[in-house]
Structure 1
Amino acid sequence: MVGTNGSRRDVLKATACACCGAALAGCLTGNDGDDGGSGPSEDDFPEFNPLDPEFPQLTSTLLDHGFETGSIEELDTFEERDEPHYGDPPRETPDDESEWLDPDTLDFAMVPTEDPAVFEGVLDPLLENIEKETGKNVENNPLQSYAAQIEAMRNERLHVAGFSTGSTPFAVNNSGAVPFGIQVGEEEFGYRLWVITQADNDEITELGDMAGKNVAHTDQSSNSGHLAPNALFTDAGVTPGEDYEIEFSGSHENSAAGIFHGDYDVAPICSTCYARVADRGDVDPTQIKCIWASAPFPTTSFCYRYNLHPDVQEGVRRAFLDYDYQDTQIAEEFEGRGTWVEIDYATHYHDILVNHEVNGVDYEDDDV
């Protein structure tokens, strides 16, 4: 059974937005109304070894060790694939020039977020280079949902976009998206699925303890917030929807805030999304623990629509792949990930497609 709760979602959204604009002291208040600092300390958890991690661990410890990402070396260990494991490959550029899309203005949209203002101005260096390399004007149009983003590209109202990991296959199969790059740092790439709960919750220390608890997934198309948990938790002996009722929070920001304020018992969450929420001061990572973590997944895929004029496609690729943004606000906002590297959809999204197959995802279903 899949449950939703509109009133709680509204409360969480209001809480998250209020915290974004409030002072740190006003945000860092748990469900008991006390300021952080009274919960367990690092001494109450195993010594952390990133190469052989033991759980549970305070999320502050994981962040201190950069464990929200994988190492850049791991990106080169993906097994090369000729065809996608599930669904269709990205579409080829049409041979017929009459089918090419050559707009005066390229519309761009980043992954939808709870507060679009967070990215306001951050991507300007990238967008300016897209304009320089394509000769087109570029307009950044924040969208409010994964479904709206996919629908916009399907209808040729969105030309270049960063799609979340879980929604990328929908964009490829339904909207003509062609993934070509992901953001990386100098030594790290990707993100992990973390399972988080309040640090002083002694009833939840491993995956099996989620049974019967109030568990928040994020969104039905989210990889780390729903699809990967469905596959990985079931393999570990805990079946979402059977061993616990799923409640959708609406976003990773909402799930993080919901755990911190005690609205949920436990939540699977994107580690880098959590890192951004913690960095903004919306949650106190010393008051939240992680009981389990996955191997790294690829992050947001950057895509263009398959029928863009070939010259525009090449210009877009150059703007992403031929420039180093490490010294810009892009790297500052995205935890040091100021470089884009080329990817192959079938190869680097293989595990995501396996998750989709296990979940019985139907790309023909418009309910993203």
Structure 2
Amino acid sequence: MMANRFLAAAATLVLMSALPAHAFQLDARYTDADGDMVADIPTDPAQLVDPETLIFAYTPVEDPSVYIDVWAEFLDHLSSVTGKPVEFFPVQSNAAQYEALRAGRLHIAGVNTGGNPIAVACLGFRPFAMMAREDGTFGYEMEIITHPNSGITEIGDLAGRQLAFTSETSNSGFKAPQALLESEFAMVAGTDYTPAFSGAHDNSILGVANADYDAAAVANSVLKRMIARDVVSADALTTIYTSATFPTTGYGVAHNLTPELQDSIAEAFFSFDWAGTALEAEFAAQGESKFVPITFAADWAVVRQIDAAMGVEYTCN
């Protein structure tokens, strides 16, 4: 899988970090008898749920209202395959998505790259799919962007300036850039540059374009979509750093859905025909045109390595 190509870079981060590494493990509420690093489906029928209506949420990287129509045709297909009504839940933040998963109010979700380990470890999330290009390749890069009049032309110019992150759970919006800046350029947040938090990738991108931030670390998948929709002009931004490729949003289900329902949900993802749909139009800027199977153990290895380099512990409440 593609994640194997990232391991050398991730290992470098681990070796160069002075922070302690912590082994990934699931919260005590879950079991992993098959060793695949995700929560097992309960064997006790009393612990299984078979909701009358399925609730789906896309990762809250941009204005959720934009995505109600984007996902409509897919959700109709999902409803047809599962035989259940499906509702789109427009979450406003990663925290809101996690809380809905924890409380059992959310059954199917697209969880952002950096949030997948948290959702898997603490919320019983079982990721199984990712968007991919026609040739089966997938992923995105973290870019550090600035505006043309900032006077910033290379990473060293960030010294003494403000760098916007998105949220502390984001891979490309916080964890990867902070680790890479420290390991590759010996630049420490709060010492060599001033961190700020915008809350979302679109906020960071628009903030840089409007010169509210000197620079920002963002997922270029979001950047490409915003440029394609004319939300922001490519001329308003300059990229000074591009990372190696990371896995993108992972799609999965709550662990305690019945096995039959989990199978039918997966079938819906892999049988959906993107041609001519709003989903195809929205993600065309990234070249994505289908869902492909993934595993958390293999495809999120690089993300777990970055978390380990940063000393991240998944404290589940």
With structure 2 as the length reference, what TM-score do the two structures score?
0.86
Contact 2:115 2:169 in 1 (8 A): yes
Residues 133 and 85 of structure 1, relative CA distance in 2, 3 Å threshold: farther
Q: Deviations over 1:24-66 (max 9, x none)?
A: xxxxxxxxxxxxxxxxxxxxxxxxxxxxxxxxxxxxxxxxxxx
Q: In the alignment, does 2:129 pair up with 1:181? A: yes
Listed one character per residue, the Cα deviations across residues 260-296 of structure 1 (whole Å, up to 9, x for unaligned) are 1111111111101111222222221123111110111
The residue type equivalent to 1:87 in the other structure is Q
* CA distance, structure 1, for counterparts of residue 307 and residue 5 of structure 2: 22
**Is the 1:207–1:238 contact (alpha carbons within 8 Å) kept by the matching residues of 2?**
no
Matched, 1:142 2:90: yes
Q: Decide which of 338, 348, 356 is 2:307's aligned counterpart.
A: 356
Map 1:1-368; keep pairs closer than 5 Å. 74=2, 77=5, 86-88=24-26, 89-187=37-135, 188-201=137-150, 203-236=151-184, 237-335=186-284, 336-364=287-315
Structure 1 residues 74 and 345, CA, compared in 2 at 3 Å: closer, same or farther? closer
Q: Do 2:3 and 2:300's aligned partners in 1 also have CA atoms closer than 8 Å?
A: no
TM-superposed CA distance for 1:193, in Å, is: 0.3
CA distance in 1, matches of 2:169, 2:256: 25
Q: 1:301 to 1:85 in 2, by over 3 A?
A: farther
Structure 1 position 360, deviation (Å): 2.1
- Measured after TM superposition, the shift of residue 77 of structure 1 is 4.8
Listed as ranges, the gaps of 5+ residues in structure 2 are: 8-21, 27-36
User: 1:173-223: per-residue Cα shift (whole Å, max 9, x none)?
Assistant: 11110000001122452110001111243x322222212101111111111
Separation of aligned partners in 2, 1:128 and 1:195: 37
Q: Residues of 2 paired with 1:363 and 1:76: CA distance? A: 23
Q: Which moved more, 1:106-115 or 1:228-237?
A: 106-115
Q: CA deviation at 1:350?
A: 0.8
Specify the structure having the higher radius of gyration (Cα): 1
Q: CA deviation at 1:297?
A: 0.7
Secondary structure of the structure 1 residue equivalent to 2:175: helix
The answer (yes or no) to whether the contact 1:150–1:174 under 8 Å persists in 2 is no
Moved over 6 A (4+): none
Task: Please give the secondary structure, in 2, of the residue aligned with 1:178.
Answer: strand
Q: What is the aligned-residue RMSD (CA, Å)? A: 1.9
Kindly provide the CA deviation profile for residues 287-342 of structure 1, in whole angstroms up to 9, marking residues without a partner as x: 31111101111111001011100110000000001333143211111124220000
Instruction: Compute the TM-score of the two structures, normalised by the length of structure 1.
Output: 0.74
Over the matched positions of the two proteins, sequence identity in percent amounts to 37
Q: Give the superposition deviation at 1:129.
A: 2.0
SS where residue 94 of structure 1 aligns?
coil
Structure 2 counterpart SS, 1:192: strand
